[in-house]
Amino acid sequence: MTDSDLSVLRERAEKGDEDAVDELIELAAELGDMGELRRLSDVGNATAADQLIEMAGERGDAGEREPRHRDGRT
């Protein structure tokens, strides 16, 4: 997937396209992109949060297991 394709996918997701959100989560999980999963989780996507927690557990990063609030508090 090119950067341009990814930008279009993010744009669709931001406009509420659930298929695009699902694609982003799947892609981020496949690539191990915790930043993308964190971004989606921070805007309230529970599936992204679940994937983030799962990946953090696999990597042994307990800090990612804590819920994050929009203001950065845990």
Q: Got the DSSP string for 3-62?
A: HHHHHHHHHHHHTT-HHHHHHHHHHHHHHT-HHHHHHHHHTT-HHHHHHHHHHHHHHT-G
* pLDDT score at 53: 93
Q: What is the pLDDT of residue 54?
A: 92
Q: Which two tokens stand for residue 52?
A: 């983030």
Instruction: Tell me the angle at which helices 46-59 and 18-31 cross, rounded to the nearest 10 degrees.
Output: 0
Joined together, the tokens standing for residue 57 give: 């557990």
Q: What is the pTM of this model?
A: 0.75
| Residues with pLDDT less than 50, the chain | none
